[in-house]
Amino acid sequence: MRQFSVVVLGAGGVGKSALTVRFIRDVFVENYDPTIEEEYRRTVTVDGQLSALEVLDTAGAEQFTSLNEVYIKSGQGFVLVFSLTQEATLKEVDNLRKQIYRIKGGDTTIPIVVVGTKLDLVNEREVPRATIQSLSNRWDLPFFETSSKKNWHVNEVFEDLLRQMRTRYPVETHHVKKKSKTCTIM
């Protein structure tokens, strides 16, 4: 079974923990408790293949953003989270996206998904679909609109990312050298 490291990044209060916990434990965390760092594991079957995901839920609070560089260096795939109810949180996603490319050496094949949370809060929505479509095209990244509370499109986020990681990090085949059956006497 292959194992992949996923890092969930975004501004404070956008729903990173709610998204992560909904995916890992299939429960909705109602109360907001700022995260410093939480690590979760889950095995999933996608396209008939079993994989282990190690998901790191990071702090969105500014005093901890210096840790992002450490997380980015170790991560194989990234979930960049913003709130559909706060357009300003999209700016942080753009900053994180640029930081990932910078740290990973400008490689544009890095597995990334961008996630707008709180889709169920229709009357509080600030980010128009047209903005998301435009950014998706410009950044060439998949965007998902989710609701952790209603469990809308949460699994799709991680399944898409897993498919990207499988493509980006294929199974390495090791060539085993056959031992020769010659004997050397010195």
pLDDT for 94 equals 95
pLDDT for 114 equals 98
pLDDT for 64 equals 55
129: CB partners within 8 A, 6+ apart: none
Amino acid at 58: T
Domain locations in the chain? 2-168
The DSSP result for 25-49, as a single string, is HS----S----SEEEEEEEEEETTE
Spans of the chain, pLDDT less than 70: 32, 34-36, 61-66, 173-186
Q: Which structure tokens are listed for 9?
A: 């990044």
Q: What is the pTM of this model?
A: 0.89
Looking at the structure, give the CATH architecture of the domain made up of residues 2-168: 3-Layer(aba) Sandwich (3.40)
- CA quadruple 69, 75, 76, 79: dihedral, nearest 10: -80
